Structure 1
Amino acid sequence: MRQLIAKRLLQTIPMLFFVSVVCFAMIKMAPGDPVLSFVTPAMHADDIERIRHNMGLDQPAIVQYWEWLKSCLTGNLGYSLINHQPVTEQILDRLPATAGLMGAAIGLAVLLSIPLGLLAGAYRNKWVDKLINFLSYIGISVPLFWLAILFIYFFAVKLHWLPSMGMRTIGTNSAWDVFKHGILPCLVLAFGFMPGYVRYIRSSTIGQLKEDYVQIQYAFGSTRMKILYRHVMKHVLLPVITLLGLSMADLVAGAIVTETIFSWPGIGSLGMTAARGMDYPVIMGITLFSSVMLILGNLAADLLYGIADPRIKQTR
């Protein structure tokens, strides 16, 4: 297992290098000039060039990339062009909010999709299956931003049950207040991933119910629910782990949209603010950090294979 982890971590080095090169090239080709955010109508051209020189933007692109890469290797992602604060500190300050939202959303999506997928597969073409499939089609078709706006309108504006934005109420410092603020963004983010999980689990359940061990359990007098949750669910876990690893990129993208709409103080909202202000160091830092999260998420999914199915561990 240690050799597998070490091998996968070594494989991340060229991947991160490739990601950094592509991201830096896209940023340099993007329209706009970050120096313009510091320019005033009365400013002289020499002052503008002095600002460009102090920011290091007058150097060739390859030199800028090399200087940035050397700083990254020491753990320094640079300084923001807007607030002049270290990028690493800003990301680490907002990491708990993003990690909590993503963890709660993915946990809720898995906990709800497993029983729904099992029921849909067990009662194939029955009214339960048709109802779950109908809700899944709606979830696949509805964009996250539109669903978030609907949730804000009904639960915050009309019913006044939950707060519509932010992570805390001003003057209130309690876990219950944070929990209430996180309900709507967590539900929106989880609902965006549940339909795919439900459909995947449903198809796996239908295939497992045709296996011989299920018929043997029926012969021993086991009930359908007992077979589903004691035997079939064990075999369904492997596809779920696969889906979790593949959906990490969509989870990060969904978190960016959700955090922006609900004003959740996470890495996603920080990235959107940096994109609007053309804050290149922050954009590069968030992109690199998100890539690390995706790679580690896929590594965790790979390791969970060995826990869910010991035969895979023995083969390795």
Structure 2
Amino acid sequence: MRQLIVRRLLQTIPLLFFVSIACFALVKLAPGDPVLSFVTPNMHPEDIERIRHHLGLDQPAYMQYLLWLKEMFRGNLGYSLVNHQPVAHQIIERIPATAGLMGSALLLAVLIAIPLGLAAGSQRNRWADKLINLISYIGISIPIFWLAIMLIYLFAIQLHWLPVMGMRTIGKESAMDVIKHGILPCSVLAFSFLSTYVRYIRSGTIGQLKEEYVQIQYAFGSSKRIVLFRHVMKHVLLPIITLLGMSMAELVTGAIVTETVFSWPGIGSLGMTAVKGLDYPVIMGITLLSALLLIIGNLLADILYGFADPRIKTTR
């Protein structure tokens, strides 16, 4: 296991290097010019070129990348081209908001998906299975922004139960106020994750119920509930571990669409602002951080596989 961890960590360096090259190339190939955000109608061309030189955008693209790479190795992600604030400071400042929102959504989705998936798989082709499948298909099919708008219209505009914008109400610093602001975006994200997780758990449950060990447990007098939650659940959670590992990156990048709709002050909204302004230092910082967390998440998933299924650990 130690060799696996060391090997995967060493593979992280070239992976992040290629990710940075691809991300930088895509940003430079995108149409637009970040200097235009500083241009005013009465500005002279000399002033525009002075701004371009000050931002380092008058150099060739490969030289801009090498300069950025040099600063990154020093632990400096650079400064935003839009607000001139340190990129690392902006990302660190917004991580708690996004991690809290995405972590709550993932936890809620898993806790609801496990019993629903087990129930759907054990009641295959019955009314409960059909109802749960219908809910799952709806969650997979509808766009997230549409669901967010519908919830805003119902619970905020019509019923006046929940706030819509931001993370806090001006003048209030209570935890309950943050929870109220997070209910709607957390529900939207949880429903999106839930729909996918239920399908995986249902499929795994159907396959596990055909195994011999299930029939042996029934022969020993175990109830259906005990078989599902004590024996079958351990096996059907393996694909969920993979999905959670791949979701590690989303704990930082968040759901860009959801954070934008609800004006949630997380990294997703920061990334959207950076993309609109072609603020490549911020885009590069967010992309590299999400790629690093994705690699770490997959590594943690492989490690958890060994604890969840001893056969995998024995094979390794």
Give the structure 2 partner of residue 241 of structure 1. Answer: 241
Q: Does residue 304 of structure 1 match 2:288?
A: no
Q: Does residue 56 of structure 1 match 2:41?
A: no
Give the structure 1 partner of residue 215 of structure 2. Answer: 215
Query: Which letter does structure 2 place at the counterpart of 1:273?
Result: T
Provide the C-alpha distance between the structure 2 equivalents of 1:294 and 1:203, rounded to a whole number of angstroms: 25
Provide the C-alpha distance between the structure 2 equivalents of 1:180 and 1:30, rounded to a whole number of angstroms: 38
Give the structure 2 partner of residue 121 of structure 1. Answer: 121
Give the structure 2 partner of residue 35 of structure 1. Answer: 35
Q: 1:253 to 1:130 in 2, by over 3 A?
A: farther
Give the structure 2 partner of residue 194 of structure 1. Answer: 194
Give the structure 2 partner of residue 313 of structure 1. Answer: 313
- Normalised by the length of structure 1, the TM-score is 0.96
State the 1:116 CA deviation: 0.3
Q: Does residue 230 of structure 1 match 2:230?
A: yes
Provide the C-alpha distance between the structure 2 equivalents of 1:239 and 1:83, rounded to a whole number of angstroms: 42
Give the structure 2 partner of residue 14 of structure 1. Answer: 14
**Would you say the 8 A contact 1:189–1:254 is kept in 2?**
no
Provide the C-alpha distance between the structure 2 equivalents of 1:181 and 1:71, rounded to a whole number of angstroms: 38
**Would you say the 8 A contact 2:110–2:197 is kept in 1?**
yes
SS in structure 1 of the partner of residue 81 of structure 2? coil
State the 1:292 CA deviation: 1.4
**Would you say the 8 A contact 2:105–2:187 is kept in 1?**
yes
State the 1:83 CA deviation: 1.2
Give the structure 2 partner of residue 78 of structure 1. Answer: 78
Q: Larger deviation: 70-79 or 42-51?
A: 42-51
Give the structure 1 partner of residue 105 of structure 2. Answer: 105
5+ residue gaps in structure 2? Answer: none
- Normalised by the length of structure 2, the TM-score is 0.96
Provide the C-alpha distance between the structure 2 equivalents of 1:311 and 1:213, rounded to a whole number of angstroms: 15
Q: 1:137 to 1:252 in 2, by over 3 A?
A: farther
**Would you say the 8 A contact 2:98–2:251 is kept in 1?**
no
Provide the C-alpha distance between the structure 1 equivalents of 2:78 and 2:250, rounded to a whole number of angstroms: 27
* TM-superposition CA deviations, 1:222-272 (whole Å, max 9, x none): 211111111111111212112323455677776111111111110000011
Provide the C-alpha distance between the structure 1 equivalents of 2:156 and 2:256, rounded to a whole number of angstroms: 21
* TM-superposition CA deviations, 1:152-195 (whole Å, max 9, x none): 11111111111112111111111111111111111111111111
Give the structure 1 partner of residue 289 of structure 2. Answer: 289
Identity of aligned residues (%): 74
SS in structure 2 of the partner of residue 172 of structure 1? coil
Give the structure 1 partner of residue 135 of structure 2. Answer: 135
Q: Aligned Cα RMSD in Å?
A: 1.6
Matches within 5 A, 1:248-263: 255-263=255-263
**Would you say the 8 A contact 2:274–2:280 is kept in 1?**
yes
